[in-house]
Structure 1
Amino acid sequence: MLGLCFFLSLMCLARSDTGETCPSFTKLSLPSAVVGTGLNVRLLLYTRKNSTCAQIISSKFLGNLNVTKKTTFIIHGFRPTGSPPVWIEELVDSLLSVEDMNVVVVDWNRGATTVVYNHASSKTRNVAEVLKEFIDQMLVEGASLDNIYMIGVSLGAHISGFVGEAYYGQLGRITGLDPAGPLYNEKPPEDRLDPSDAQFVDVIHSDIDALGYKEPLGNIDFYPNGGLDQPGCPKTIFGGFQYFKCDHQRSVYLYLSSLRENCTITAYPCDSYRDYRNGKCVSCGPSWQEPCPLLGYYADNWKDYLKEKYPPMTKAYFDTAEKKPFCIYHYFVDIITWNKNIRRGSITIKLRDKAGNTTESKINHEPAKFQKYHQVSLLARFNQDLEKVAAISLVFSTGSVVGPKYKLRILRVKLRSLAHPERPQLCRYDLVLMENVETAFQPILCPKLQM
């Protein structure tokens, strides 16, 4: 059992240095985790006036907390080595940069630090009780539940749910960042985070096959890359600790990306990741006069539309790049062929601008079926957004190593941006692709009336 618990301990996140001149997140070590720690919850307040130096607050002392402003609680999860989460400082800074609010870091490292995951999990309701006592005092001082926002990571997501349940779902918002799965999977709603715990609950699932919770838990549940293996994370145990924690931790970094001006991650409501990858779930966005949900901090901009148009628990899918800020830019590649016989295969498309910048997408989720005079719409994903495309190249492949090489005779190919539907659509007519041979061409503007 201890071996299993130690494996689960790899849910930990990495280290972070904090200044010694101000109150900082509790730093412990592996020996403390082996011995175990008793629960001690510390609340660290940051505002724009003290963005780099925390103030210790409690239900008996609210300090500089302004009850008329939004208060965002950041609640971490299991800490099997006792080190502070590496992302804490960046998340605090980013939140304060986008809005003038109170940010309260809930430091329950003494309690979360243990090699026995079950011991940390057993303390989550106690943490919630401390937070309820604190929020009760905020309400006495004039705060509103509408202005309470909780960001819970792993076990912290379920702690947020317990607090929300205590207020009968009247908290303004809860964001769950890869809520913990072990010991919570298949639990009833009262024993975990669920959509009724706040007025709006959004969840990012990034490790559903290991440390995270698989099923939907919110009003909208985001599944980056299907919620499974995250690009850029180690694929084998030779990646060390990163192999175990990278997917789980990615939810935090995706949320952080939403706080940057240069990265807006759009997600697409869909029944499954497969349908999303096959381009069946992109019926939202400016070109359809219907907003798509945005991942992360601004996800609640979609809550009113969600209530009107979508089921109470909606899944949304999207892909990401391997590195920060993880943004992917979606295009549709519409192809009409005139081969007499059906051709099955994948398309690789490369874009180039006048400056020589290039970006490539291999559309090979499933082989496409090209039939005479039928349009096939393929969803292409690029790591880079080229504002003005000067050249396009295509490669057709059946994936066959032996056997004859085929031709794909294209009557028309059209490129249209989903992220920027206002951009002109680009076309090319009468094109022949030799299998596994890159064919480059300069596109022309499509006729405006063409669909």
Structure 2
Amino acid sequence: MKIVLFSLLLAALAANAAWAVPLSDFPEQEYSRFVQYTDENGLQKTIDLEEEVDEDLLDSLDSYIDRCVLFTRENPSEGQNLEMNNVESILSSNFDPNAPTVVVVHGWLGNQDSGMNTQVREAFLSKGPANVIAVDWRSLAVSGYVTATRGVPEAGRQLGRFLAFLNKVANAPYEKMHLVGFSLGAHLVGNAGRELGGKVARVTGLDPTGLLWNLNSNRISRNDGQYVEGIHTDGGLSASLGIGYAIGDADFFPNGGNSQPGCLTNFCNHNRAWRFFASTITHDHLVGRQCSNYLQVTLGTCRGQNLNMGNSDLNKTGSGLYRMRTRRFYPY
């Protein structure tokens, strides 16, 4: 049975109306051993949080990153493979160092053609010139959840080293890089940014997964980029898939951050993060209101300054907790 720590949280609320609970004191949600998960094709998978790590698989993979595929306005649908330590693969491609570089990373069970990668890529390319690099790490991502989790930090470091290579051979500036990851991919891009010393302009975590990650030191954090943003859509206490508290400089909690209009399942809530984000790239229309504490986030009583959620602004700044309301259907 899932253990939901309502009593402890209510005690914290009673003791501190601001709910300013330090992360070290925030209780990690406890899950039952088996968690149900639905993939993009509607197939239900069972996550066994106590399964053994497949060390043989991890040892057999030459790299945890299968490929990095470049899409630009010159090749919006047919990607070009960019290879680590292969200078020619970079120089012969359509990569433009003068354009922003957006790195998009799917989650567990995904691949470079996942809906998240496709919609975010199309949104950025419709906005203006960009180097959109879809990262495919399917060989690890399709393994058991615990095994994939074990490999994510190293996959992130490998991605970071690839971006350092891109910076060296193509003069791709870190201040024009935006790393975007969904679910497990959010922690992967966090580790990539950390490998680069937090130099990249932006890191966006789209409903970073909470399963085995709430208090994991390798999770995405505010030091992974110059500006780190979290978008939380399934961070509730009961059967949630995402982390329900701040992980970055600015953290957005659409509709309170745990139940989204038009959704009846946690998986639907979870996926709303990348759907919202893709929409903001095109429309830049979802505006959060700053909250003083988590209680205001929950009750929807935030009265602070405004900050747009998501979008493609490489020079974006901001800090704090934000909530906004969305609609049920695109553009939300």
TM bracket (short chain):
0.7 to 0.9
Which of 273, 289, 302 is residue 268 of structure 1 equivalent to?
Answer: 289
Answer yes or no: is 1:136 the counterpart of 2:158.
no
One-letter amino acid of the counterpart of residue 280, structure 2: S
Summarize the Cα distance change of 1:124–1:276 in structure 2 as closer, same or farther, 3 Å threshold.
closer
Q: Output the CA distance in 2 between the equivalents of 1:145 and 1:136.
A: 9
Corresponding residue SS for 1:184: coil
Answer yes or no: is 1:94 the counterpart of 2:128.
no
Q: How big is the shift at 1:64?
A: 2.3
Answer yes or no: is 1:314 the counterpart of 2:320.
yes
Q: How big is the shift at 1:264?
A: 0.5
Question: In 1, are the aligned partners of 2:124 and 2:282 still within 8 Å (CA)?
Answer: no
Aligned to 1:13: 40
Corresponding residue SS for 2:139: helix
Answer yes or no: is 1:255 the counterpart of 2:308.
no
Summarize the Cα distance change of 1:119–1:276 in structure 2 as closer, same or farther, 3 Å threshold.
closer
Q: How big is the shift at 1:207?
A: 0.6
- Superposition map of 1:1-400 within 5 A: 7=35, 9-10=37-38, 12-14=39-41, 39-59=64-84, 60=86, 61-62=89-90, 63-79=93-109, 84-114=113-143, 116-141=144-169, 142-188=171-217, 191-209=218-236, 210-234=240-264, 243-261=265-283, 264-272=285-293, 275=296, 280-284=301-305, 292-298=306-312, 302-303=316-317, 306=318, 313-326=319-332
Corresponding residue SS for 1:119: helix
Corresponding residue SS for 1:221: strand
Q: How big is the shift at 1:89?
A: 2.0
One-letter amino acid of the counterpart of residue 275, structure 1: Q
Q: How big is the shift at 1:120?
A: 1.0
Corresponding residue SS for 2:235: coil
One-letter amino acid of the counterpart of residue 227, structure 2: F
Question: In 1, are the aligned partners of 2:112 and 2:134 still within 8 Å (CA)?
Answer: no
Question: In 2, are the aligned partners of 1:42 and 1:56 still within 8 Å (CA)?
Answer: yes
Question: In 2, are the aligned partners of 1:8 and 1:211 still within 8 Å (CA)?
Answer: no
**Which has the larger Rg?**
1
Q: Output the CA distance in 1 between the equivalents of 2:65 and 2:299.
A: 49
Structure 2 unpaired stretches of 5+ = 1-30, 46-53
Corresponding residue SS for 2:252: strand
Q: Output the CA distance in 2 between the equivalents of 1:49 and 1:268.
A: 38
- 1:336-356 CA distances to partner (integer Å, 9 max, x unpaired)? xxxxxxxxxxxxxxxxxxxxx
Q: Output the CA distance in 1 between the equivalents of 2:298 and 2:132.
A: 37
Query: TM-score under structure 1 normalisation?
Result: 0.57
RMSD after superposition:
2.8
Query: TM-score under structure 2 normalisation?
Result: 0.76
Q: Output the CA distance in 2 between the equivalents of 1:298 and 1:73.
A: 12
- 1:157-176 CA distances to partner (integer Å, 9 max, x unpaired)? 11111111112111111010
Question: In 2, are the aligned partners of 1:41 and 1:127 still within 8 Å (CA)?
Answer: no
Q: Output the CA distance in 1 between the equivalents of 2:229 and 2:211.
A: 20
One-letter amino acid of the counterpart of residue 252, structure 1: W
Structure 1 unpaired stretches of 5+ = 16-29, 31-35, 235-242, 285-291, 307-312, 327-451
Q: Output the CA distance in 2 between the equivalents of 1:130 and 1:77.
A: 16
Corresponding residue SS for 1:122: helix
Summarize the Cα distance change of 1:280–1:120 in structure 2 as closer, same or farther, 3 Å threshold.
closer
Corresponding residue SS for 1:297: coil
- More strand, by proportion: 1
Corresponding residue SS for 2:322: strand
Q: How big is the shift at 1:7?
A: 2.5
Corresponding residue SS for 1:13: coil
Q: Output the CA distance in 1 between the equivalents of 2:314 and 2:326.
A: 21
Q: Output the CA distance in 1 between the equivalents of 2:330 and 2:70.
A: 28
- How many residue pairs get aligned? The number is 278
Q: Output the CA distance in 2 between the equivalents of 1:258 and 1:322.
A: 15
- Overall identity of the aligned pairs, in %: 27
One-letter amino acid of the counterpart of residue 199, structure 1: Q
Q: Output the CA distance in 1 between the equivalents of 2:247 and 2:309.
A: 15
Q: Whose RCO is larger (CA < 8 A, sep 6+)?
A: 2
Q: Output the CA distance in 2 between the equivalents of 1:184 and 1:279.
A: 26
Summarize the Cα distance change of 1:218–1:179 in structure 2 as closer, same or farther, 3 Å threshold.
same
Summarize the Cα distance change of 1:300–1:217 in structure 2 as closer, same or farther, 3 Å threshold.
farther
- More helix, by proportion: 2
